[in-house]
C-alpha cells in the first residue's frame, strides 16, 4: 500500500493506493504517525486507488478512526471501488464510517 497526505486547509486528504491488507502494516503505521499531527480536523480517505481491502486492513481503519477521534478529528471514506465498497457493505462499516461514493 502507498499513501499520500495533502492538507488543503479545509480537510486533510489521504490517498490510498494498492492493497490495504495484512501486508500493509509498516506503511499504515507511518500513516498513523503523520495523522497524529492533525488535531480537530476532517480527514478524508480517498480510496479510488485502493484495489483490495481485507478485514485486517479494515481493522487498521478502525484504529485510525479511534486515534484521530482522540485528537478531535473525524474520518470519512470516499470513492471506494465496487469490490472495496462491497466489502465495506458486508462488514457493515457504514455504521461506523461516513462512506461517500
Partner 1 sequence: MASVMSVPSPDCRAIERRPCLVVEAAPSEDLAAQCRALGIDLRQGDMDGEAPSAPVLGGAGTTETVRAGLGSPYCGFVELGAEGVVGIGLRCFETVRGGGMTLSLQTTTAYRLETLELVAQAIRANFTGISQDTADLMEISLAEALSNAVIHGNLGIPSHLRTTTEGFIQFQKLMHARMADPTLAGRRVEINVQARGPDFIGIAVSDQGNGFDLSAKLAHTAKATAKNGRGLCLIRKATHSLHGEDGGRTLVMTFAR
- Give the residues lining the site for partner 1 (CB under 8 A): 19, 21-23, 25-26, 29, 32, 51-56, 58-60, 62-63, 66-67, 82-83, 86-87, 90-92, 95-96
Minimum gap (Å) between residue 39 Cβ and partner 1: 16
Minimum gap (Å) between residue 64 Cβ and partner 1: 9
Q: Measured from the CB atom, is 8 or 21 closer to partner 1?
A: 21
Report which secondary-structure segment, H or E, holds 20. strand 12-20
**Sheet strands side by side (includes 74-78):** 2-7, 12-20, 42-53, 74-78, 98-100
The residue whose grid cell reads 490517498 is: 15
Minimum gap (Å) between residue 22 Cβ and partner 1: 4
Q: Measured from the CB atom, is 47 or 58 closer to partner 1?
A: 58
The grid cell for 90 is 458486508
C-beta atoms surrounding 85 within 10 Å: 18
Amino acid at each position: 500500500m502507498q499513501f499520500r497526505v495533502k492538507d488543503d486547509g479545509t480537510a486533510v486528504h489521504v490517498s490510498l493506493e494498492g492493497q490495504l491488507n495484512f501486508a500493509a502494516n509498516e506503511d499504515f503505521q507511518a500513516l498513523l504517525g503523520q495523522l497524529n499531527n492533525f488535531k480537530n480536523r476532517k480527514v478524508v480517505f480517498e480510496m479510488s486507488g485502493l484495489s483490495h481491502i481485507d478485514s485486517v486492513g479494515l481493522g487498521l481503519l478502525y484504529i485510525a478512526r479511534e486515534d484521530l477521534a482522540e485528537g478531535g478529528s473525524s474520518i470519512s471514506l470516499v470513492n471506494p471501488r465496487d469490490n472495496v465498497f462491497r466489502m465495506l457493505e458486508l462488514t457493515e462499516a457504514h455504521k461506523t464510517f461516513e462512506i461517500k461514493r
